[in-house]
Amino acid sequence: MAEQRRLVVCASHSPGMERDTERVEGTEFRAGLARARDLVTEFDPELVVLFGGDHRRAFRTVVPSFAVSLSAGIIAEGNHGPAALDVPYGTARNLTEHLLTAGIDIAVCRDVDLDHAFAQPLRDLLGAVDARPVIPVAVNCATAPLPRAGRVLALGRAVANFLDDVGARVLVIGTGGLSHSPPSLEVDAYELDDDERARLIAEGSEAARTKIRPDWDRAFLTAMASWDTDRLTELTDHAHQDAGAGANEVRTWLAAGAAGGGRSLRQLVYQPVPEWITGMAAVASA
């Protein structure tokens, strides 16, 4: 019965999607994302658990493999100003206790400022970052060494066990990927100011357009559809070398899928979008 009260949606994100204010790029992906939003609206979640990565914004000098936020906000970015997230402190605190008891060593964060990895899926799927109570769970996808896929799956399964006893409709989101290699993540530098980040992106954006790997993306989506954890583990642990630095973000998809109970996640859409330097996709458990 618990699984029937849980919806999983995983979707790519990209700052380029928001820069495209005329909505002329990635039209297939936008249509698939709209279908995902319809599923979320029909499901009407009472709580959101959001697995997201960090683009070396919130976590730079100290980088936990996994971190549960007890309070959090969204940074000003692109066309959006700063905003507060509605984090249910008691539930988030209980989740951290559960994870530690289950043998998952996680960090606890307060007043952490998160970027578009968390903001974009909340806006795209729910309409606003504060539309529903949300527990942000950060998964290190950017700063080596990264958690192995097996450990990410263990995190997700432990969250699933916690959600079994939560008397609410829970939307579980994984955000990021698929294949892409942002210039700002290709450098092994943890302290990039906005000017340096912008310079790297401007100088490397043309080359980044050529780094989408549709074959890898389709293999990953096929493994998600059958929830083949052996194949997902193999693809994820070799994502960086086979599909670019940004492909490491599929760890959030693994965590979300496991937290949803390890069910088949059917493909809603896949479209390589060179303008956004990313293989864009969305999957859902419904």
Q: Do the Cβ atoms of 56 and 143 come closer than 8 Å?
A: yes
Q: For residue 87, which amino acid is it?
A: V
Find residue 54's DSSP bridge partners.
none
Task: Write down the catalytic residue from 13, 55, 98, 116.
Answer: 116
> Which of helix, strand or coil describes residue 11?
strand
- HSE-CB at 134 with a 13 A cutoff on CA atoms is 29
For strands 72-74 and 83-84, give the pairing: antiparallel
Task: Note if 80 is an active site residue.
Answer: no
Which residues, 6+ apart, have CB-to-CB distance to 13 below 8 Å?
Answer: 116, 117, 120, 121, 124, 175, 176
Task: State the residue for tokens 């912008």.
Answer: 198
Dist. CA 252–CA 60, nearest whole Å = 19
Dist. CA 119–CA 48, nearest whole Å = 13
- 171: tokens are 């939307």
Find residue 108's DSSP bridge partners.
68
Task: Write down the catalytic residue from 13, 55, 180, 240.
Answer: 180
Q: Do the Cβ atoms of 242 and 213 come closer than 8 Å?
A: yes
Task: Note if 240 is an active site residue.
Answer: no
Catalytic residues: 116, 180
